[in-house]
Structure 1
Amino acid sequence: MIIAFAVAPVVLVTLLIGLRGVAAMRTTSDFLVASRRVSPLLNSAAVSGEYLSAASFLGVAGLVVKDGIGALWYPVGFTAGYIAMLVLVAAPMRRSGALTVPDFAEARLASPVLRRTTAAVILVIGGLYLVPQFRTAGLVLAAVSNSPYWVGVVIAGTGVAVTLALGGMRAATYVQAFQFVLKLVLFIVPAIWLLIQVGPQVRDEAVHPVEFTEFDRDTRVDFRVGTTLTFHEPTTVRIGQSIGQSSQVRAGEWDVPEGTTVTFPRGEPVPEVSGEARPGGEGWERPLLDLQDAGHPLLGTWALVFALALGTMGLPHVIMRFHTSPDGRAARRTAALTVALLSVFYLFPGIYGVLGRVLVPQLYLSGATDIAVVALPAQVDTGWPGDTFTALLTGGAFAAFLATSLGLVLVVSGAISYDLLPGGLGWLRLTVIAVSGVVVLLALQAIRLDAGVLVTWAFTVAASTFCPLLVLGIWWSRLTVAGAMTGVLVGLFASSGAIAGTLWGLPVDGWLAILVAQPAPWSVPLAFATMIVVSLRGRPPSWSRTAMLRLHLNEDRATTPADRLRALRDENVT
C-alpha cells in the first residue's frame, strides 16, 4: 500500500521529467551540465534538492534520537559549507569553463595524470555517498511496508538509472528542483501535524528528556541485523512475529540473531546496546557531540563541523552543479540562494529528533534510528491520518534518495566516461546504468553500516582532497602539478587510512579516537601543507598567473574560459 501511494508517484514523476530532457540532449555538454543555461533560482532549488540526502531527511533526526541535541551540528556544517563555497569557489569554478573537477584540474595545470587521479578520487567519494542513499531506501520501505530490504534498494537504483540515461543533467535539474519543493512540503507539514497531535504532555517530555530505562508500553523491535544486548537483570520477552509465549532472558549479554522480532512487555527494563548510550541519558541534552564517546565533546564537534563545511566545498556533484550556471555571477547567486533554502529545511529535523526520543526510543536497540521520521506518525495515530502522513514522509524520503543519487551517479559516470575512459553520449548512458547497478549490489551488502557515518566520511575525503586543490588552484598562482598531485594523494590516503582504521576497530581512545574517526582536522591541513611545500620546491608554468587571473575576471561570452586557458597555455608552450 505504501509503495503504491507514496513511492510509485515519486518514481513515476521522476521518470516523466527524465523524458523531458531527451529532446534537448544532443552533446556531452547537454548531458553533464545542461548546456550551462540553468537560472540561479532553478539551480539553487536543484542544488538544495540534490544536497538534502538521506542523511538530511532522515539521518539528522535519527542521530538526535541516538546521540542527543549535539547532532544538530550536522545541519550547521552542511549549510556553512555553502558560505565557504560562495566566497571562495562558486564563481571562479564556473568561469573555468570545465565540465567536471578533473576537467578543471587539467585546464588549470595542464596535467592529464592529475585529471585521472582526481577522477579516481571522485569514485571513492561517490561510493561513500551513494551506498547509504540506496541502503536507507531499502530500510525505509522495509519498515513501512514489511517488504524485503532489497526491494527499496532496487527501486531507487532503477529510478536513478532510467532518469539519467534518458535525460542527463537537464532532466536531473528539473527532477531535483521539483523534489526539493516536494521534500520541503512533505517534511514541514507532518512536523506541524505531529506537534499538534502529540499533545502538551509529550511536548513537555520532548524538551525535558529522561533516560530510556523502562518500556512504557508493549514494544516490538525488529532486528534486521544481528545485535548484542546487555541485560542487567532478568527480563521477560516474547520472541517471534505472533504474540507467542513469554520467556525470560538472564542477566548478561544476548546475541540477537539477524531477522529476529522481539516484543518487550510494558514495565520491563531496557537493555543496553554494546557501545551505545541509551537515548535521553546523561549528556543527551548537551549541545555538543561526543564522537566515539571519547569524553572530548568540544573537539568532536569542531572536527565534525570542520569536515562538513570544507567537505561541502569539495563535493564533486555539488561543484558540477555550478557549471550549469550561465556565468560566474549566476553561480554566486545560486550559492547564496542555496544557503537560504537549506536554512528553512534544517529548522525541522530537530523537531522529529526530540519527538522520536519520546515516541520511538526503542529504535536504538536495533540500530534503526534512521527510520525514526517515518515511524513517528503511526505512534501518534493508528488510523488513516497516521497512515497518510507515513505515506507522505516515505514519499519525501524517496525523493531525497533519488535527488541526491541522481547527482552522484551523474558525476561518477562522468568521471569514468569523460575523464578516465573518454567516450561519446552513448557511452555515458551505458556508464550511468552500470554505475547504478554496482551501487545497488554494494548497498545490498551495506545494511549494517550507519548512513550518517558513511556520508560524513564522504565529506571528509572531499575536504582532504578537492578542497585544497580548488582553493589553491583558484587563489594561488604558484601551485604546480607535482604539488597538486602529491597533496591530493596525501589527503586521500590520510583520510581513507583513518576511515579504514575506524572500520577495523583500531584500539585507540580519548582525543586520539576522535582524530581517527574524524581525521579532517589534521588531514586537511596536511594536504594543504603538502601542496604548498612541494609547489614551492618547483616552478609553476609561465602562464599560470594569467590563467589563474582569468578565473576571477568577468566572462567573455565569445569563447569559454577553459578554451582561453588552454589556448594561452599552448601559445606559451610553443
Structure 2
Amino acid sequence: MSASTGLAAILLTALATILVGVVGVRAARTTSDFYVASRTVTPWWNASAIGGEYLSAASFLGVAGLVLAYGADMLWFPVGYTAGYLVLLVLVAAPLRRSGAYTLPDFAEARLESLAARRTASVLVVTIGWLYLLPQFQAAGLTVRTVTGAPQWVGPVLVAVVVLVGVLSGGMRSITFVQAFQYWLKLTALALPAIFIVLVWQSHGTPSITQDGPPVFAEPTVVDIATGVSVEVLQTIAVEAEGTVDGESVDGPVSLSPGSHTLARGTQITFPAGVQIPHADNLTPLAGEDWRLPLRSASDHPLYSTYSLILALFFGTMGLPHVLVRFYTNPDGRAARRTTVAVLGLLGVFYLLPTVYGALGRIYTPELLLTGRTDAVVLLLPGRLVDGMAGDALSALVTAGAFAAFLSTSSGLTISVAGVLSQDLIGHRVRNPVRAFRLGASLALIVPIALALLSPSLGIADVVGLAFAVAASSFCPMLLLGIWWRRLTDAGAIAGLVVGGGLSTLAVLGTIVWAPEQGWWGPLLAQPAAWSMPVAFLVMVLVSLATPRRMAPGVNQTMIRLHTPESVDLDRGTWDPEDRWRTRT
C-alpha cells in the first residue's frame, strides 16, 4: 500500500467520524446531553457504542502482536476483555445505573456521602484515563508511521484533533453516534481482510504456523528498519546491509556475530533463507511447543503472571471510567443489563479475528520479531498476502479500522476524564458547565500525548493491561463493597482507594521505568492485580469495621435505591448536573 493510499484511509476515517458526530450535535443542548446523552440511549445502540469505545488499540493491534510473539498464553487477553463484561453484568450494571450518578466520583459521593471520597475517586479516574490513553496515542503514531512514513508525533496529534472536534461539539450524545458507527467499521475492517488472508493461506497448502525450533526466515527477506532498534543475534549470520550497523556506515556484506547489535533508522538488511530471526532486545518470542501451549512463557513465574492477568482483566473492566459512564446513558437498570448481554455477543465475535492475524503473522511477517513492531502485523499482513489493487484496498480498510479504534476509545476516555476535571477542578473557576467540560476535554489530552511521545515504547496490550490492574485494585473493591455491603464507610473506601490504587500505580511506573527481568520483582510489578486487589479489599473492610460511626447517614435509603427495580415507585432523586453546578459554584 502506498503512503498516499494509507493517508487517504486515515483522512476519510477522520472525516466520517466528524460527519457522523454532526448528527448528534443537533440534539446536544443541555449538560445532561453532554454527560450522559439525557439517559435515552437504547440497549442495542448503546452496546454498539460500548463495543466501539472498548475495542481499543490493544484489541485491534495489540492482541495480534502478542499472539505473534508469545502464542497461546496471550489468548487470555481477548478472553479477559470479554469475560469482564460478564462480571459487570452480574454484579454492577443495574445497581450502578439505579444510583442516579453521572460519573464514578458521583457514585462515591452519593454512596458514601463524602466529598473526600469523591476527590480521591476523581484522582484515580484521571490516572486510569491517562494510563489508558497512552497506548492509544502510541498506537496512532505507530500506524501513521507504518502506512505513511510520517514522524511519530503526527498520529497522536491527528487523533487528538479529531477527538476534540467530536467531544467539544456534542459531548456524550454526539460520541454515542460516532462510537456505534466505529464498532461496525472496526469489525468490517478486520473480518473482510481476514477472509482473504485465510483463503490465500489455504491456497499455499496451509503451511504450519508453528516450527519445532526458533523462528527462521522461510525465504530471502529484506527488512527496512523504520525505527532504530537493538537486536539480539543468537548465531553468526552473514547478511547484506546498507545503512548504519553498530554505529558504523556499511554498504555490502556484514557478519552479525552472536550478541546485541544496534541497527539505525533507515538501515536496510537482507537476510538469507533459513537463518534464525534475530529478535529485538525488548522482545523474547516463543517457538515450537512453547508458542502453542499455555503457561510456557519466558517469565520466571508464568503461573502467577497468568492468574494475575486474569484477575486484572476480569475485575478491572468494572473500574474503567469510560466503560461505566456508558451505563448511565441507559433509561433504566433493565436496559443496562440488556446492553451488557449485547456487548458480550459483539465482543465475542470481534475477538475471534485478531488471533487469526497473529497466528498467520508467524509465517508471512516474521521480520516484525526483529524490529519489535509486532503490533503492526494487522496493518501489514493483508498487503503481504494479496497483490495489486485488492491488497491496497484491504490494507487501506485495516488502516481505517485501526484509526477508528484510536478515535473511539480516546473519545470515551476523554469524556470520562473531562467530566471529572470539569466538575472537580475547573468547575470552581468556570461557572458555565458546558464551557468547563470543553476546557476539561482539552486538558485531558495534553498529558497522555506528552507521555506517548516521551515514554519508552511498550507493547500496546501490555500498557492497557496495566490500566486494568489499577482499575481492578481501586474502583472494583469500592463498587462491589459499595453496592453489596452497607457497612462500607468513607474512611474505609478512601483508605482502600489510596492503598490499592497507589500500590498498583507504583507497580505500573516501576514496570515502565525500571522493568526488572529477574526474580519475583518482574512479574510482581508487571502484573500487580493478584496482590494489590486483595490488599485493597482487605484495607477497605478492616478500616470500615474500625470506623462504624463513619457510615453514611442515608445508607439504608441508598441501598434500597441501588437494589430496587425502577418499576417500583420510589422517590429516587437524580444527580442533576445543572443543580450541582449552581450549588458548587
Name the TM-score, length of structure 2 as normaliser: 0.91
**In terms of mean alpha carbon deviation, does 305-314 or 208-217 score higher?**
208-217
Q: CA deviation at 1:513?
A: 3.0
Partner of 1:250: 257
Question: Is 2:488 aligned against 1:479?
Answer: yes
Deviation at 1:289, TM superposition (A): 6.3
CA distance in 1, matches of 2:119, 2:266: 43
Aligned residue number for residue 283 of structure 1: 290
Matched, 1:460 2:460: no
Q: Aligned with 2:316: secondary structure?
A: helix
Counterpart among 88, 92, 96 of residue 93 in structure 1:
96
User: Aligned match of 1:530 in 523, 539, 543?
Assistant: 539
| Aligned twin of 2:24 | 21
Residue 452 (structure 2) aligns with: 443
435-444 or 85-94, which deviates more: 435-444
Alignment map for 1:89-238 (pairs within 5 Å): 89-201=92-204, 203-206=206-209, 211-214=214-217, 216-238=219-241
State the shift of 1:545 in Å.
Answer: 2.4
Instruction: State the TM-score, normalized to the length of structure 1.
Output: 0.93
Equivalent position to 1:262, from 238, 262, 269: 269
> One-letter code of the match for 1:496?
T
Q: Which moved more, 1:171-180 or 1:201-210?
A: 201-210
Taking only aligned residues, the RMSD between alpha carbons, in angstroms, comes to 2.4
* 1:31 matched to 2:40: no
The 10-residue stretch of structure 1 (52-61 or 140-149) with the greater mean CA deviation from structure 2: 140-149
| Equivalent position to 1:297, from 286, 299, 302 | 302
* Counterpart Cα distance in 2 of 1:543 and 1:340: 38
Identity %: 45
Give the whole-Å Cα distance in 1 for the aligned partners of 2:354 and 2:51. Answer: 15
CA change 1:48–1:464 in 2 (3 A) is: same
Give the one of 550, 558, 561 matched to 2:572.
561
Classify the secondary structure of the residue corresponding to 1:468.
helix
How far, CA to CA, are the matches of 2:207 and 2:171 in structure 1? 48
> Compared with structure 1, are the counterparts of its residues 389 and 209 closer, same or farther at alpha carbon in structure 2 (3 Å cutoff)?
farther
- Measured in 2, the distance between the counterparts of 1:225 and 1:240 equals 11
Asked if 1:548 corresponds to 2:551, the answer is no
Preserved contact between residue 226 and residue 255 of structure 1 (Cα < 8 Å): yes
Q: Cα 1:560–1:225, aligned 2, differ >3 Å: closer, same or farther?
A: farther
Counterpart AA for 1:97: G
Cα deviation, residue 274, structure 1: 2.7
Q: Which moved more, 1:15-24 or 1:243-252?
A: 243-252
Q: Aligned to 1:390, which of 388, 392, 395? A: 395
* Structure 1 residue 156, shift from structure 2 partner: 1.1
Cα offsets for 1:321-379 (capped at 9, x unmatched): 00000011101111111001101111111111110011112112121000101110222
- CA–CA separation in structure 2 for the residues paired with 1:94 and 1:409: 21
Of 338, 359, 365, which residue of structure 2 is paired with 1:360?
365
Aligned to 2:54: 51
Structure 2 residues not aligned, in runs of 5+: 578-585
Code of the aligned partner of 2:318: M
Q: 1:278, CA displacement in angstroms?
A: 3.7
Q: Does structure 2 conserve the Cα–Cα contact (< 8 Å) formed by 1:499 and 1:517?
A: yes
2:326 paired with 1:317: no
Measure how far apart 1:5 and its partner are.
3.4
Aligned equivalents of 2:566 and 2:239: distance in 1?
72
Aligned-partner Cα distance in 2 for 1:466–1:385: 47
Deviations 1:237-262 (A, max 9, x none): 31239995333333432123355443
| C-alpha distance 408-367 of structure 1, shift in aligned 2 (>3 A) | same
1:20 CA displacement: 2.0
More deviation, 14-23/238-247: 238-247
Q: 1:283 is paired with a residue of what secondary structure?
A: helix
Amino acid at match of 1:96: S
- Counterpart for residue 583 of structure 2: none
Moved more, 535-544 or 309-318: 535-544
Kept in 1: contact 2:109–2:118 (CA 8 A): yes
- Alpha-carbon distance, 1:12 to partner: 0.7
How far off its partner does 1:494 sit?
1.2
- Residue aligned with 1:203, SS: coil
Q: 5+ residue gaps in structure 1?
A: 567-574
1:515 matched to which residue of 2?
524
Structure 1 position 459, deviation (Å): 0.4
Mapping of residues 328-343 of structure 1, within 5 Å: 328-343=333-348
How far has the Cα of 1:415 moved from its partner?
1.0
Inter-CA distance 219–205: structure 2 relative to 1 (3 Å threshold): farther
1:36-87 alpha-carbon deviations (Å, 9 max, x no partner): 0000000001001111001001110100011112111101100110000001
Q: Aligned pair in 2 of structure 1 residues 560, 343: CA closer, same or farther (>3 Å)? A: farther
- 1:210–1:144 distance in 2 versus 1, CA, 3 Å: farther
* 1:385 shift after superposition: 1.4
- Cα deviation per residue 1:434-461 (whole Å; 9 max; x = unaligned)? 3234433332224623211111111000
Does the 8 Å contact 2:239/2:270 carry over to 1? no
Q: 1:544 to 1:193 in 2, by over 3 A?
A: same
- How many angstroms apart in 2 are the aligned matches of 1:109 and 1:219? 61
Question: Per the alignment, in what secondary structure is the counterpart of residue 444 of structure 2?
Answer: helix
| Residue matched to 2:507 | 498
Distance 1:434 1:260, change over 3 A: farther
TM-fit CA distance, 1:109: 0.9
